[in-house]
A = this chain, B = another copy of it.
Amino acid sequence: MPDKTALVVSAHSADFVWRCGGAIALHAEKGCDVTVVCLSYGERGESAKLWKEGGMTLDRVKTERRKEAEAAARALDVHDIRFFDLGDYPLVMDQDAKFRLVDVIREVMPSFMLTHSTWDPYNPDHMLTLQWTLECRAIAQAWGHNPGQAVLGAPQVYLFEPHQTEQMNWKPDVFLDITPVWDRKWAAIQCMQGQEHLWSFYRNAAENRANHFQRNSGGQSGGRAAKYAEGFQSVFPRTVDEL
């Protein structure tokens, strides 16, 4: 898979770890360069533990969050991680920020993209990220945007698993076996010192998705065992030569 690349668009700097850390590590291991864009550090809305400590400032929180994200990225063998530092709660993406993301998309030319789900009443940052990602994908396909630059094809966009799947109307249509790289994902998860309350949550989720993997690959009759898996929802239809 040396020619394959992938792009993750993460609203806050920890989202890529919980939600698709396995997919990142697995594809990295296969030789696929995975780039992660963190639109914000989640410094205001997803750093409660840090804020509960004394004497914290926005800059210190951002620094801590960045360190954690970079450590996790190393654990997952991320090719490149970019921090857009757009602020969070609310995360706002103006035209400049959109064009910046388009630049990254065209630079990476991803074979597929990973981002948030379409609806999230708990966290509008997440659902806006999906809207913006679709918008930037469309701009990257436009021949009239930076004419002369190579133009994006039609990469699949996978929506990774949100925190409360059913409340977000998220329905996975593909399960990925991440057993071979679980150690990496678990190491990356443990980099998230500020959100320790979520560690076992996402280990449980990975184990249960492995159960779904086995069920959908044959169940009690030829189903392939997997110990850890991740689920994704595709936005676009696939094009195939064989069912």
Contacts and interface: CB of A to CB of B under 8 A. Distances in A.
Interface in A7-26: 23, 26
Contacts of A221: 141, 150-154
Contact of A219 (B141, B177, B205): B141
Each complex incorporates copies of this chain amounting to: 6
A231 B237 contact: yes
A238 B174 CA distance: 5
Interface residues of A, number: 94
Nearest to A198: B211
A15 B220 CA distance: 17
A59 to B, nearest CB: 11
A138 B122 contact: yes
Contact of A239 (B112, B151, B177, B239): B177
A143 B51 contact: yes
Nearest to A143: B51
A186 interface: no
Interface string A51-79: 11000101001000000000000000000
Contacts of A153: 217-219, 221-223
Nearest to A170: B166
Contact of A121 (B58, B123, B134): B134
Nearest to A125: B138
Nearest to A131: B124
Interface string A173-212: 1111100000000000000000001101100110110011
B236 A143 contact: no
A167 to B, nearest CB: 7
A170 B151 CA distance: 28
Contacts of A58: 144
Contacts of A219: 141, 153-154
A213 B58 CA distance: 30
A216 B239 contact: yes
A213 B241 CA distance: 11
A61 B144 contact: yes
- Give the 6 A-B residue pairs with the shortest CB-CB distance, closest first: A44-B144, A51-B143, A153-B218, A204-B204, A45-B142, A48-B220
